Amino acid sequence: MITHKTKYALKALTVLADEAAGDAAALRIEEVADRSGAPKRFLEHILLDLKRAGLIGSRRGRNGGYVLIKEPKLVSLAEILRLIDGPLAPLPCLSRRAYQKCADCDEATCRVRAVFGDFYATYILMIESLTLADLQQDLDPLERFALPGPGAGE
């Protein structure tokens, strides 16, 4: 489950991506907060994290504000999740970037690691393939992952 902080980051980035696709104006934090539904005080910290990571930039002055500086199709949702929430792996011994050996098991024979490893491999392939551009699409995001209902394919 993603945190509120990550959800607000994704919504703010989507607002900035939509603006970049339009007239590319810099948006003040109040505008990003209004359009994304994120609380302004919380959003200030999130936007600073996104700026430090090189995803957004800021402009000073009368027409100042925040702008997306990377192409939406080049911004991986996994990158954002890791930036805001940390490692994605369900177990520390499965993480590629924050690996830690579990003190209570042998990785070669651990059944918990084996089962979650298979799940995690599938999840990571899926989440790594999604980008900010996917969030900009108007179609139902769950539609692409929906299982066929009763009578489908008949």
Q: Could you write out the three-class secondary structure of the chain?
A: CCCHHHHHHHHHHHHHHHHHHCCCCCECHHHHHHHHCCCHHHHHHHHHHHHHCCCEEEECCCCCEEEECCCHHHCEHHHHHHHHHCCCCCCHHHCCCCCCCCCCCCCCCCHHHHHHHHHHHHHHHHHHHCEHHHHHCCCCCCHHHCCCCCCCCC
d(CA 32, CA 45): 13
pLDDT value of position 22: 78
The 10s digit of each residue's pLDDT in 4-63 is 999 999 999 999 999 988 777 899 999 999 999 999 999 999 999 999 999 999 988 888
Average pLDDT over residues 123-144: 80
pLDDT value of position 109: 85
pTM beyond 0.85: the answer is no
The 10s digit of each residue's pLDDT in 88-130 is 888 888 887 888 888 888 888 888 888 888 888 888 889 999 9
Residue 138 has pLDDT above 80, yes or no: no
Residue 152 has pLDDT above 70, yes or no: no
Residue 142 has pLDDT above 90, yes or no: no
Residue 149 has pLDDT above 70, yes or no: no
Residue 72 has pLDDT above 90, yes or no: yes
